């Protein structure tokens, strides 16, 4: 079910309704007919931070889309772990850092983010530095409320490097993946800008900008045959539910995870990249559950967004041995799903703990589903892992 988040909570209901309903048809965005609508309040103590996070992620998405549409070879580099990084990853991180610092100037600023500027400070990266600085300035200038942009290269590099915080269980820390699913981004497929806020070790808000995700359900689709209007912004604050709106600014709708309680009807999401998750193991788990539909393989935390609105019922992620999960790969997605009524745990059923620094300390993998399916899913995961280890 979907309901309307108005942000006009101090007004009488009749006035709210009068102000809200015309918004449904703005820019031709209409709600799918199967969704029922009700007006809800979503005021929380993190309203200011949430507004800043939505603005930061939306502007970063604008930068990323511009790069993705006209990607050139020199936009892409390889990091020391062989994973790709692009001018859009750096530009997105700089934009988010600058917008958050401008919008919330009063609080100490701590950002735990994926990228740093070491490689682009090298002499050989002069053109890349110039390109990133221009992208950041043009993106900020495209927003009415930041009309002037006279940032130097050093301003942009320092904004990127403000993401070196270690996070932890004390105080507030922003957590950012400037492009989650860089391989999907390079293929022209799914990716996400994932931003969350930790307060005393707990994720209290999360925003997922998914520029290539269709506004309508992707249930039963594969990444290569997605259709319709794209560009979703998912957001959630603790205790206030999860909402989705289009990245070009339509009204928000409240979303909920699938209510399916029969595992045979459940479809599951997993990584598109076989190098990121063990597809043989997830197949075994799905077989044990009696899942009939083939896996939906898509890149990035767009999977958490799609799950939060019930496009599928399960997300399975089992990285290969030796891979350590980072908090920015799950913090935003986790609150987006849990506020929509879902559950995210490690493979042993423990809640994900984002308070221990830049990495997650996990038992084996990450599994996400609704409350009803979780006990059966945990059982199937346990049996599949035991079978796998006894066959080695």
Ligand X SMILES: Nc1ncnc2c1ncn2[C@@H]1O[C@H](COP(=O)(O)O)[C@@H](O)[C@H]1OP(=O)(O)O
Catalog residues that contact Mg ion under the rule CB under 5 A.
83, 114, 177, 179-180, 182, 329
> What is the full DSSP assignment across 146-174?
G------HHHHHHHHHTTB----SSSEEE
Q: Does 181 bind ligand X (CB under 6 A)?
A: yes
Which span sits near ligand X by CB under 6 A: 138-146, 226-234, 268-276, 283-291?
A: 268-276
Q: Checking DSSP bridges between strand 366-370 and strand 314-317, what pairing results, if any?
A: antiparallel
Please tell me which residue in 182, 338, 345, 369 is annotated as part of the active site.
182
The only residue of 97, 300, 308, 345 in contact with ligand X, by rule CB under 6 A: 300
Residue with tokens 């062989």: 82
Which span sits near ligand X by CB under 6 A: 138-146, 164-172, 174-182, 384-392?
A: 174-182
Which span sits near ligand X by CB under 6 A: 39-47, 62-70, 225-233, 267-275?
A: 267-275
CA dihedral 197, 323, 257, 211 (to 10 degrees): 70
Catalytic, 280? Answer no
CA dihedral 204, 209, 210, 216 (to 10 degrees): 80
| Residue 114 is labelled as binding a ligand | yes
Beta strands (DSSP E) in the chain are 4-5, 39-40, 76-78, 84-86, 111-113, 172-180, 192-199, 202-214, 230-237, 242-246, 252-255, 268-270, 296-297, 314-317, 342-346, 366-370
- Rounded to 5 degrees, φ, ψ at 206 are -150, 145
| Residue 329 is labelled as binding a ligand | yes
The only residue of 74, 83, 262, 371 in contact with ligand X, by rule CB under 6 A: 83
Q: Does 299 bind ligand X (CB under 6 A)?
A: yes
Could you say which of ligand X, Mg ion, none residue 299 binds, taking C-beta under 5 to 8 angstroms by partner kind?
ligand X
Distance CA 307, CA 373 (A): 13
CA angle 48, 193, 54 (to 5 degrees): 20
Could you say which of Mg ion, ligand X, none residue 256 binds, taking C-beta under 5 to 8 angstroms by partner kind?
none
Residue 279 Cβ vs Mg ion, minimum distance, rounded to whole Å = 19
Residue 112 Cβ vs Mg ion, minimum distance, rounded to whole Å = 12
Catalytic, 89? Answer yes
Q: Name the site residues for ligand X (rule: CB under 6 A).
A: 83, 114, 177, 180-182, 184, 271, 273, 275-276, 299-300, 319, 323, 329
What residues act catalytically? 89, 182
> Residue positions in the annotated binding site for Mg(2+)?
114, 177, 179-180, 329
């Amino acid at each position: 079910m979907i309901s309307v988040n108005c942000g006009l909570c101090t007004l009488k209901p009749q006035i709210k309704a009068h102000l809200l309903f015309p918004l449904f048809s703005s820019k031709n965005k209409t709600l799918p007919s199967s969704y029922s609508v009700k007006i809800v309040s979503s005021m929380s103590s993190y309203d200011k931070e949430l507004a800043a996070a939505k603005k930061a992620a939306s502007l970063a998405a604008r930068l990323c889309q511009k790069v993705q549409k006209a990607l050139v070879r020199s936009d892409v580099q390889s990091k020391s772990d062989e994973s790709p990084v692009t001018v859009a990853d750096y530009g997105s991180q700089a934009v988010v850092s600058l917008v958050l610092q401008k919008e919330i100037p009063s609080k100490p600023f701590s950002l735990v983010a994926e990228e740093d500027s070491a490689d682009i400070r090298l002499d050989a990266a002069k053109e890349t530095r110039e390109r990133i600085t221009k992208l950041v300035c043009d993106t900020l200038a495209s927003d009415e409320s930041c009309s002037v942009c006279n940032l130097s290269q050093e301003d942009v590099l320092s904004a990127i490097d403000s993401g070196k915080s270690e996070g932890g269980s004390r105080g507030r820390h922003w957590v950012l993946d400037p492009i989650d699913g860089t391989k999907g981004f390079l293929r022209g497929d799914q990716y996400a800008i994932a931003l969350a806020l930790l307060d005393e070790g707990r994720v209290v808000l999360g925003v997922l900008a998914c520029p290539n995700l269709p506004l309508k359900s992707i249930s039963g689709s594969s990444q290569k045959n997605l259709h319709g209007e794209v560009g979703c912004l998912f957001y959630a604050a603790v205790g206030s539910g999860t909402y989705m709106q289009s990245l070009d600014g339509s009204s928000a709708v409240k979303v909920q995870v699938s209510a399916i309680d029969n595992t045979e009807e459940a479809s599951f999401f997993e990584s598109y990249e076989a190098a990121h998750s063990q597809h043989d193991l997830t197949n075994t788990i799905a077989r044990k559950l009696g899942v009939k539909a083939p896996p939906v393989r898509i890149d990035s935390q767009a999977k958490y967004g799609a799950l939060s609105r019930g496009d599928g019922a399960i997300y399975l992620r089992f990285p290969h041995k030796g891979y350590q999960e980072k908090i920015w790969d799950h913090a935003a997605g986790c609150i987006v799903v849990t506020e929509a009524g879902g559950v995210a745990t490690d493979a042993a059923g423990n809640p994900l703990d984002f308070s221990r620094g830049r990495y997650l300390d996990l038992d084996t993998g990450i599994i996400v589903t609704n409350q009803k399916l979780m006990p059966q899913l945990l059982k199937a995961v346990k049996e599949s892992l035991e079978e796998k280890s006894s066959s080695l």
